[in-house]
Structure 1
Amino acid sequence: MLPQDKLIHLIKEQCEKDRRISACMMYGSFTKGEGDQYSDVEFYLFLNDDEARDFKSSEWVKDIASYDLLFFNEYGTEVVVFSNLVRGEFHFLPESEMDMIKSFKDTGVFPDTDSMFIYDTTGRLKALLDALKGDGPERMTSHHVNFAFNNFVNAWLMGVNVLKRGEHARSLECLSHVQKYILQLMRIREKNTERWLNATKNLEHDLSENAYHAYVAITSRLDAAELYHAYSNALRAVEELIHVLGDQYPFDIDLVFTHKLRSHLNDLFSA
C-alpha cells in the first residue's frame, strides 16, 4: 500500500468520527487513476457552519499523521508536509459553501467522480460530484487560440526587453510564461487539451516527439546566450503554429508581425 493510500484511509476514518465534518471530497491524481508514490493528497472538507469559526485545522491534521510543516500557500490553500514527506493540500470550508463544487466543471475533466467522494452527512455531495461528469470545457476554440497567441507575445516581448537590460533572472521567469502559452497552442494542434491549465503535466507522454523537442528548444539555463536562443526558438515554434492553426482559427497575429518581433530580437543582440 502506498503511504498516500494509507493517509486517504485515515482521513476518511477521521471524518467519520468527527461530528464537525459534514462532508469530504478528494481531488487530484488519485481521483484520475494517475496517483503514484510521488503524488500529493488533496481534499476539500466542509464543516458544520456553527463549528467552522473555532475549528483548528492544525490539530485535526495532527490526529491523522505526524507532520513537519503546515502553512497557507499564496492561493490560500492549507499545505501539509507529512513526516514521510508526502505533501497534502486541504481546504476547510463551511458546509454552506459546498455549492462551490459546481465551479470545478470549468477547470477540466473528472473521469471518476465516485473516487472523489470520501464522506458525507448532508446528502448533497454525491449529486454535486455527479454533475462534474462528462466532457470538460471546450478548449479548442478561437477564443483560446487567440488568447494563447496574444499572451505569448506579451510574455515574449517583456522577456526579450528585460534580457537586453541585463535582468537575466527576470527574463528566465518570463520565459516560463512563454513556454506555457506555446504548450497550450501545441496541445490544441495535437488535440490534447485535457491538461490545459497545467500544460506541462505528463508532457513527456502527451505530446508527439516533434512537439516535445520543440519545447526542449525553448528551455534555458540562467545564461544570456541560452536565453537568446530560447526566445528565438520560441518565435520559430509560434510561426509554425501560426502556419498550422491559421486555416482552422482566426487570431490577431500573423507572420508579418512575428518577423517584426524577430527583427527586434536580432537588433537587440546585434551589437
Structure 2
Amino acid sequence: MLIQQRLRDRVTHLCRDDPALVAALTYGSFVSGEADAYSDIEFWLFFDPAAAPDAPTWLAAVGEFQHVVVNEFGAHVVFFPGLIRGEFHFVTAADIPSVRSWPARSGPADRMIVVDRTGELRRALDTLPAQPPRPTTAGEVGELCGRFANWLILAHHVTRRGELLRALDALTHTQRHLLWMTRLTTDSTQHWLTPSRHAETDLPTEVTRMIHGATATADPSSLAAALTANWRLGRSCWRQLGLRHGFAVPEALFRELDQRLGDEASQS
C-alpha cells in the first residue's frame, strides 16, 4: 500500500470521528484513479463555524510532518516524511455551496465524499459536470489562440530587453496555451485543467517531442530558438483550429511574427 493511502485512511478516520466536522471531501489523482508514488493527498474540510479546530493540531493527528505552510490559495500544505505533500483546506460549513462553482468533479461523487452529515455536500457535487468545459465555439477557440500570441509576444519583447528570467516566466504561460491548442488539434482534451499533466502519454509522440524542443534556459539564444519553435507549432495549430471551427486567422499578425521570429517559422 502506498504511504499516501495510509495517510488518507487516517484522515478518513479522523473526519468520521470528529463531531465538529460537518462534511469533508477528497479530490485529485486518488479520486480520478491516477495516483502513484508521487501523488499528493488532498482534502476539503468543512467545520461547524462554532467549533473550528486549530489546523496544525488537527494535522498533527494525521501523522508526523516536517513542515506546514499556508499557500497562496489559503490551503494548509503539509510536508510528510518522504516529501509527500498533503493539501488541506480548512473552511466552514457555510462554504459548502461554493463547491457548486467548481469547474468539475475529480471523479464520481461517491469517491470524493468522506463525510456528509447533512447531505448538502452531495447535492453540491451533483451539480458539477464530470469534465471541465472545453472551448468549443469559434469565438472561444479563437480567444485561446489569441492568448497564446499575447504571451508569446510578451516573451519576445522581454527577451530583447534582456529580462531573461521574466521571459522564461512568460514562456511558461505561452507553452501552457500551446498545450491547450495542441490538445484541441489532436483531440486529446483529457486533463484539460492542467494541460501539462500526462502530456507525454496523452499527446502524439511527435507533438510532445516538438514541445520539449520548444523549452529554454535563461540564455538569449536559447530563448530565441524556443520562441521560434513555439511559434512554428502554435502557428500550425492556430491554422488548423481556424479551419476546423470556421474562423479567420490574423494574417497580418502571422506575417509579422514570421518575420520577427525567423524565417523557419514561415516554413511550418
Q: TM-score, normalised on structure 1? A: 0.90
**One-letter code aligned to 2:141:** V
Distance 2:141 2:28 in 1: 26
CA pair 24-114 structure 1, distance change in 2 beyond 3 A: same
* 2:25–2:45 Cα contact (<8 Å) kept: yes
Q: How does 1:15-94 map to 2 (within 5 A)?
A: 15-52=15-52, 55-94=53-92
- CA drift of 1:209 comes to 1.4
- CA drift of 1:66 comes to 0.9
Is 1:213 the equivalent of 2:209? Answer: yes
Of the structure 1 ranges 209-218 and 258-267, higher mean CA displacement relative to structure 2 is found in 258-267
Q: 2:171 aligns with which of 168, 175, 194?
A: 175
Distance 2:20 2:139 in 1: 44
Q: How does 1:1-271 map to 2 (within 5 A)?
A: 1-52=1-52, 55-104=53-102, 106=103, 108=104, 110-132=106-128, 134-251=130-247, 253-266=249-262
The alignment partner of 2:244 has SS state of coil
Calculate percent identity across the aligned residue pairs.
30
**One-letter code aligned to 1:85:** L
Q: TM-score, normalised on structure 2? A: 0.91
- 5+ residue gaps, structure 1: none
- 5+ residue gaps, structure 2: 264-268
Distance 1:250 1:70 in 2: 50
Distance 1:242 1:97 in 2: 40
The alignment partner of 1:67 has SS state of coil
The alignment partner of 1:197 has SS state of coil
- CA drift of 1:169 comes to 1.4
User: Could you report, residue by residue, the CA deviation over 1:184-203 in whole angstroms, capped at 9, with x for unpaired residues?
Assistant: 11111112223222110000
Of the structure 1 ranges 258-267 and 194-203, higher mean CA displacement relative to structure 2 is found in 258-267
CA pair 16-109 structure 1, distance change in 2 beyond 3 A: closer
**One-letter code aligned to 2:135:** R
